[in-house]
Chains A and B, each alone.
Chain A
Amino acid sequence: MQQLLNTALGGLTLGMVYAAFALALVLIWRSTRVVNFAQAPMAMVTTFIALVIVDAGHSYWLAFAAALASGLVLGAVVERVVIRPVEGGPEINAVILTLGLFIVLHALAAVVFGNRYRSFPAPFGVRGIEVGGTTIALTGFGIFTILAVLATMGLLLLLFQRTDIGLRMRASAFNPEVARLLGVRVGRMLTLGWALASLVGSLAGLLIAGGSLVHPGYMDSVVVYGFVAAVLGGLDSPFGAVVGGLLLGLALSFVSGYVGSQLVALAALVILMLVLVLRPGGLFAQTAARRV
């Protein structure tokens, strides 16, 4: 019973991070049809920026805010400098560029920040909290993780559904040409979309790093899990990405807790294949198979 609860709680926390990362991928996919593989090293770079600020003796929260802000800027810069020039061409070109960026950012980070493991602070405890005499696998930082992701999603939902700029962004994603005819500056909306996605990715990076070790490659497996979660949710749906992330987090936590932690990556792959074979449009697809 205790193990079940702990496995579920661990899965929930992890799932929240996957959900955030999947959301970052989906935001970009649905507006530009690009799977941004560079999302992982982009988040890694912003986490290192936070680490530099912490190491300089500033507060965690300043570092946290700076990482999110630099995520926003980095996303905008990548869209403008790397993606914009190949816009309108085959989408595979942009995907290859994100892979190239993946390698470049890795190399740069190794040069600038060093290629060794460094510990990253957490603003809250990373020990399980005690409930009625027993310690459960929910940490203070875990609670912060869940709340931070939920708050971010809530804000994004408000932005997209309740504001004019959100309406313009959705219109640009769904039908750029019609949006343009209606006076929407589609290019700016795409830049903003990349910036927001990168911010969400940076948040995931910070949450994974908290109380743990960072290294230029520490986010690389997360992009894979985030991608699986996004595919689970249908790749086009922000809501699906969140549910997909939670389901994946729980599933992997149970595999790790009851089967063996060395099988987690394999399990993710099996889940991905099952979804692609059985429900190619994602778990919530109402329409026929997606054309990828």
Chain B
Amino acid sequence: MLTVTDLTAGYGPVRALDGVSFTAERGQVTAVLGANGAGKTTLLRTISGLHRAERGSVDLDGERLDRVAADRMPARGLAHVPEGRGVITELTVEENLRLGALGRTGRLDPADLERVYGLFPVLADRRAATAHVLSGGERQMLVVGRALMARPTTLLLDEPSLGLAPRIVAQIFELLRGLVESESLTVLLVEQNARSALSIAHHGVVLNLGRVVADDDADALAADDQLRHAYLGF
């Protein structure tokens, strides 16, 4: 369970997060929705220690996370798949995956590699290729697979659907949903694409200008016409 309390952060005079509080339950997908500039990326970056909070706290399964350095997060069970270019394109597919495994314990368990190749057979076919040659969808599979290599309990995903064909998005979301159930992961899923995010999420939090404007079950959010028109754009 990931609990965020009164989290406040910004960039100089810009307040990107203003007293954000919510809880993401274990074994559930919690969608974080909102328009461009709502503060979604800043929220994930602050949770994972890439950005410094001015105020507030983050708590993962009873342990404070908000003074933990970003490079210690994998050891705490937290994996953050960043927005956009998360693949290290100069490394091979397998090197990217190996790197994912090193973060938690410092060693690679070959079984983890085989498991990820089992989930994403495309990656197995191209294991020796430079990640540079992968398509957008394959890259997204690689970053998700790489995050799983660290056997996280909590996964932060920043717009995994960005630039992908709907079919690929559906495929990745379905896989996520399956993993959440089989491994009881805590997933925080940031999305512009509110409709498809809510279709797999259990719960949703809507941000606007750095504040939480709605926090409810995914079904309830999707059914709220006023909210949908005002903040979710569908």
Q: Which residues of A contact B (CB under 8 A)?
A: 164, 167-168, 170-171, 174-175, 177-186
Contact = CB atoms under 8 A, between A and B. Distances in A.
A188 to B, nearest CB: 9
Specify which of A171, A174, A185 lies most central, judged by the most chain B CB atoms within 10 Å of its CB: A171
A175 B99 CA distance: 12
8 contacts: A164-B108, A171-B91, A174-B88, A174-B91, A182-B74, A182-B146, A183-B74, A183-B102
B169 interface: no
Contacts of A186: 71
Nearest to A166: B95
A181 B48 contact: yes
B71 A180 contact: yes
A184 B102 contact: yes
B203 interface: no
A181 B98 contact: no
A184 B82 contact: no
Contact of B72 (A164, A170, A183): A183
Interface in B87-130: 88-91, 95, 98-100, 102-104, 106-108
B19 interface: no
A180 B70 CA distance: 6
A154 B148 CA distance: 33
Given A181-B50, A183-B71, A183-B72, A175 B102 contact: no
Top 3 A-B pairs, shortest CB-CB distance: A183-B103, A183-B74, A174-B90
Nearest to A165: B102
B134 interface: no
B103 A178 contact: no
B99 A177 contact: no
Given A171-B91, A174-B91, 16 more contacts: A164-B108, A167-B95, A167-B98, A167-B99, A168-B102, A170-B90, A177-B82, A179-B88, A180-B50, A181-B82, A182-B74, A182-B100, A182-B150, A183-B103, A184-B71, A185-B71
Contacts of A179: 88, 99
Given A181-B50, A184-B103, A170 B71 contact: no
B86 interface: yes
Contacts of A183: 71-75, 102-104, 150
Contacts of B139: none
Contact of A171 (B48, B79, B99): B99
Contact of B88 (A164, A178, A185): A178
B80 interface: yes
A196 to B, nearest CB: 18
A185 B70 CA distance: 9
B91 A182 contact: no
Contact of A167 (B48, B71, B102): B102
A180 B91 CA distance: 16
Contacts of A168: 99, 102
Contacts of B73: 181, 183
Specify which of A164, A177, A178, A183 lies most central, judged by the most chain B CB atoms within 10 Å of its CB: A183
A171 to B, nearest CB: 5
Nearest to B105: A183
Nearest to A188: B71
Contacts of B74: 181-183
A193 B192 CA distance: 39
A187 B84 CA distance: 23
A174 B92 CA distance: 12
B98 to A, nearest CB: 6
Nearest to B104: A183
A185 B82 CA distance: 18
A15 B70 CA distance: 43
A192 to B, nearest CB: 15
Contacts of B88: 171, 174-175, 178-179
A163 to B, nearest CB: 11
